[in-house]
A and B are shown apart, each in its own frame.
Chain A
Amino acid sequence: MAQYFADIYEAVSSVLKGMRITFKHIYKKPVTLQFPDERQVMPERYRGFVHNDMTKCDSCNICAKLCPVDCIYIESEGKGKARMMTRYAIDYNKCIWCSLCTENCHTGSITMSHDYDHSVYDRRTLVYEFMDPTQETIPCHRATRIDMGWWVEPKEDKPKPKPKPAAEAAPPAETAPAPEAPPPADDKPAPGTPTPDDDKGVEN
């Protein structure tokens, strides 16, 4: 009989305790982020979709060679100063976000962006073409680009990168061209290019 009343007491007191706890939470600010309107600020080193700045890329192929899953496709034609890039694409179906490409890019053109919301209806659309579709070729050589006014990074600020075998580490990101360097107006990134401030995704 004593147990019976003890049980009733325990039930009532524990229910009251639970009710008090949930009531406290009514006044707390909800932790929900209203996703498309509000976004979480990603940590500095968050590895989002890989982004390549075509104004800096000189088609050196280091990234493509380093990539453990071969998800970067670079095509070029010609040799020396006349070498022209014809394709730069990243296949996000394969990409494992290992960041080996960005750590070893000697121009600092390829970076991990903070983008993550690129869901698509068809996986074929996850192969992102970074070349402007209006341009068939892009000159790869730096001197040619400086002549065209593309390469905005001043040459003397940068210690001369020693040519190394592709597999070895290139100069780190600090020596890369200033990331804020604005590209010329006529060189907009290709429509398929994910950029950090591109909010609406790409393919849909």
Chain B
Amino acid sequence: MDALIALIQNAPGAANMSAQALHNTAAALMATLMFTVMALCAIVFTWMERKVAGFLQNRYGPMRTGRWHGWAQAVADMLKILGKEDIIPAEADKGLFVFAPILVLLGSLLAWAAIPWAPGFVAADLDLGLFYIFAVSSLVIIGILMAGWSSNNKWALYGAARGAAQMVSYEIPLALATIPVIMYTGSLNTQDIVIAQQGGLANWYIFRDPFLFVAFWMYFIASIAETNRGPFDMPETESELVAGYHTEYSGMRFAFFFLSEYANLFLVSLIAVMVFLGGWWAPLPLLDVIPPALTFIIKGVMMVFFNMWVRWTLPRVRVDQLMHLCWKVMIPIALICVLGSGIIQMVRG
């Protein structure tokens, strides 16, 4: 942010701008950039999802649109969805029905503010960065519940109820898994967390101690559940609930949910990279030539691939199994990780 302000200050004609105006301009630029990145990642990841799914199943996936491997398929889908009729069911609660997709998208977009892309390059350099991310991403739950409930449709309501139960439950192991890292860093600031992992692979938090290694996997599993993706896609189970909480949505409003799903997917992947996998630091000194932001994004995309790989491998779990996994397995293990890592830190001094 400071770097951006300095950049604007040096731009021609900006010498007389007040500090407030500079700050506002930089904030607007940053917000535009974040939103663009988010929309782009949704387009790229829908295509990537279909290609990964295809190759995992010995298929090609989309091949026709665009010259190379159907790269334009997601763009074509986006244009198609823009041209679709916007339907609001007669019996739906109109205000909430319209507001829900915006809230879902807002929840994902707000969290992007605290992602540290490169040294000094973060939209909101908050002291409570990680806490802020977990707090605002909870807005998605309200949005989903709102969408399902206002649709006045039994499938949508089932999906929303499942989604709310699942996401509220899995926020606990998600946050618990990051606590050892916060204890190591002594800060919730996202930049501080990344800076503390400087110095190659061995300093990444995932390899600091065995409990952190387990904590990473707890975080990873919980993040899949948080993004409502397979094998935990209970809120949208196509085979049972048509499309879950967004059954009644069409056109651009549906696209908002879709956008939010992929933005969330990238978000949780970036948080995993930031918290456990060294953020913008390259794994080997040899790879330091790559710009930090690019390293960060490459790692994030690899995590997204890993997410997709899991989705297209494992079958969907049952609702009771989902809750069993969260409350009886993952939360105890995450708590043990916090305890164990704390003891190790105490012993190491």
Real complex partners, A and B?
yes
Count of chain A to chain B residue pairs whose CB atoms are closer than 8 Å in the complex: 35
Contact B63 A18 (CB under 8 A): no
With both beta carbons as reference points, the residue of chain A lying nearest to B57 in the complex is identified as A25
For residue A3, which residues in chain B have a CB less than 8 angstroms away from its CB? none
Does B131 have its Cβ within 8 Å of any Cβ on chain A?
Answer: no
With both beta carbons as reference points, the residue of chain B lying nearest to A24 in the complex is identified as B56
Which residues of chain B in 250-289 are interfacial with respect to chain A, using CB atoms and an 8 Å cutoff? none
Q: How far is the CB of A19 from chain B (nearest CB, A)?
A: 5
For residue A134, which residues in chain B have a CB less than 8 angstroms away from its CB? none
For residue B313, which residues in chain A have a CB less than 8 angstroms away from its CB? 15, 18-19, 21-22
Does B202 have its Cβ within 8 Å of any Cβ on chain A?
Answer: no
Contact A15 B314 (CB under 8 A): yes
With both beta carbons as reference points, the residue of chain A lying nearest to B52 in the complex is identified as A26
Does B89 have its Cβ within 8 Å of any Cβ on chain A?
Answer: no
Instruction: Write the B296-329 contact mask toward A (1 if CB under 8 angstroms, else 0).
Output: 0000000000000110111000000000000001
With both beta carbons as reference points, the residue of chain B lying nearest to A37 in the complex is identified as B63
Q: How far is the CB of B343 from chain A (nearest CB, A)?
A: 21
For residue B314, which residues in chain A have a CB less than 8 angstroms away from its CB? 15, 18
Contact A22 B312 (CB under 8 A): yes
With both beta carbons as reference points, the residue of chain B lying nearest to A31 in the complex is identified as B58
For residue B68, which residues in chain A have a CB less than 8 angstroms away from its CB? none
With both beta carbons as reference points, the residue of chain B lying nearest to A20 in the complex is identified as B313
If A8-B329, A15-B314 touch, does A22 touch B56 (CB 8 Å cutoff)?
yes
For residue B54, which residues in chain A have a CB less than 8 angstroms away from its CB? 30
Q: How far is the CB of A136 from chain B (nearest CB, A)?
A: 44
Task: Please tell me the size bucket of the interface on A.
Answer: 10 to 19
Instruction: Write the A14-36 contact mask toward B (1 if CB under 8 angstroms, else 0).
Output: 01001101110110111110100
If A8-B329, A34-B63 touch, does A25 touch B310 (CB 8 Å cutoff)?
no
Does B80 have its Cβ within 8 Å of any Cβ on chain A?
Answer: no
For residue A8, which residues in chain B have a CB less than 8 angstroms away from its CB? 329
Which residues of chain A in 7-60 are interfacial with respect to chain B, using CB atoms and an 8 Å cutoff? 8, 15, 18-19, 21-23, 25-26, 28-32, 34
Contact A19 B58 (CB under 8 A): no
Contact A30 B310 (CB under 8 A): no
Does B134 have its Cβ within 8 Å of any Cβ on chain A?
Answer: no
Contact A30 B312 (CB under 8 A): no
Contact B57 A23 (CB under 8 A): no
With both beta carbons as reference points, the residue of chain B lying nearest to A8 in the complex is identified as B329
If A8-B329, A18-B314 touch, does A34 touch B309 (CB 8 Å cutoff)?
no
Contact A28 B58 (CB under 8 A): yes
For residue B58, which residues in chain A have a CB less than 8 angstroms away from its CB? 25, 28-32
By CB atoms of chain B within 10 A, which of A22, A23, A31 has the most?
A22
If A15-B314, A19-B310 touch, does A32 touch B329 (CB 8 Å cutoff)?
no
For residue A32, which residues in chain B have a CB less than 8 angstroms away from its CB? 58-60
For residue A31, which residues in chain B have a CB less than 8 angstroms away from its CB? 58-59
Q: How far is the CB of B223 from chain A (nearest CB, A)?
A: 16
For residue B63, which residues in chain A have a CB less than 8 angstroms away from its CB? 34
Q: Which of A19, A28, A29 contacts B309 (CB 8 A)?
A: A19
With both beta carbons as reference points, the residue of chain A lying nearest to B64 in the complex is identified as A34
Q: Give the CA-CA distance A32 to B55 in the complex, in Å.
A: 10
Given pairs A8-B329, A30-B58, 19 additional interface contacts (CB within 8 A): A15-B313, A18-B313, A18-B314, A19-B309, A19-B310, A22-B309, A22-B312, A22-B313, A25-B58, A28-B58, A29-B58, A30-B54, A30-B55, A30-B60, A31-B58, A31-B59, A32-B58, A32-B60, A34-B60
Query: Contact residues of B with A, CB < 8 Å?
Result: 54-60, 63, 309-310, 312-314, 329
- Interface CB pairs A-B, < 8 A, 18: A8-B329, A15-B313, A15-B314, A18-B313, A18-B314, A19-B313, A21-B313, A22-B56, A22-B313, A23-B309, A25-B55, A29-B58, A30-B54, A30-B60, A31-B58, A31-B59, A32-B58, A32-B60
Per CB-CB distance, the 6 closest pairs between chain A and chain B, nearest first, are A22-B313, A22-B56, A30-B60, A18-B313, A26-B55, A32-B60
